[in-house]
Structure 1
Amino acid sequence: MAGAALLLSGCGFADMRAPLPEFMRAKAPDPAPPDPPPDVKQLMRDNLERVFTSASQPAHVRVSAPRHEPAGTNWTACVRADLNSVIGKPLGTQTYRLTVNAGAIIDRRRVEDDDNCSSETYEPI
């Protein structure tokens, strides 16, 4: 009788990764819903100096629509602008990828060959 009680007492503590039949395991928690898409245009208007230095004199700034990252809670967007070098020579159009979380730009990096920014549609800010 004590053995049966011991076996049954463990049934209430089986987590979702336990090697038990699925009906005996605890249900996995639902993933948190993603934040609503950020307003990338407004973020760029408010934080232009966080993305481009003032010496680069960004002109014709354009942004893509935000995309939710498959893993995590971040959003990504691409931004393009006509920039100048530090000595004032035109660099042409440069493209950067922004990472946005909780309505703030948390990372900026120049696009690489494997980024999909070249296929995005851009709108002026």
Structure 2
Amino acid sequence: MGQGQVHLAALLAGAALILSGCGLADSHAVWPEALKVKAAEPAPLEMPPDVKRLVAGKLDSVFTAGSQPTHVRVSAPLHDPRGTGWTACVRAELTSVIGKPLGTQTYRVFINEGSIFDRRQVGADDNCVTETYEPVESTVAVETQRTTKP
């Protein structure tokens, strides 16, 4: 009975070894493409967001209400390497809660499906330091332009 169990274990180990090579063999096989296992395609990228419009419409999602952001500027959106979303840098002059100027502060915003879902203050090693920025029009100015145009 002990010899039968050894033969069974050897048979199972051999079968596992043979079957484990199937995935590797398929990728290098000379089979027609229709018979090979297809690799999963990456999810398609969404269109680059209008960062100026997003930030102008949702300043409170980037800055705290008491910081009174002025001279708000944004960088061009870049594809987020960790997913299908986008990132951009936002820079503004901020004021502390007690009214003391904080100077220019820069944040990286994370955009997915057309909305800002996260933001982080950047450090010296972040590439936001080298980005080119464009001013953001205030929501009031944008609405005024829309209503005055014929």
Q: Name the TM-score class by shorter chain.
A: 0.7 to 0.9
Q: Give 1 or 2: higher helix fraction.
A: 2
Alignment partner, residue 50 of structure 1: 61
- Cα distance between partner residues in 2 of 1:108 and 1:71: 15
Alignment partner, residue 5 of structure 2: none
Deviation at 1:112, TM superposition (A): 1.5
TM-score, normalising length from structure 2? Answer: 0.68
Give 4+ residue runs of structure 1 displaced > 4 Å after superposition.
none
Where does 1:12-31 land on structure 2 (aligned, <5 Å)?
18-22=23-27, 23=29, 24=31, 25-31=36-42
Deviation at 1:113, TM superposition (A): 2.5
Alignment partner, residue 40 of structure 1: 51
Alignment partner, residue 77 of structure 2: 66
TM-score, normalising length from structure 1? Answer: 0.81
User: How many residues end up aligned between the 2 structures?
Assistant: 110
Alignment partner, residue 133 of structure 2: 122
Q: Give 1 or 2: higher strand fraction.
A: 1
Whether contact under 8 Å (2:69, 2:92) holds in the other structure is yes
- Cα distance between partner residues in 2 of 1:80 and 1:40: 12
> If you compute each CA radius of gyration, which structure gives the higher value, 1 or 2?
2
Deviation at 1:80, TM superposition (A): 0.3
Deviation at 1:54, TM superposition (A): 2.1
Q: RMSD of aligned C-alpha atoms?
A: 1.7
Whether contact under 8 Å (2:26, 2:37) holds in the other structure is no
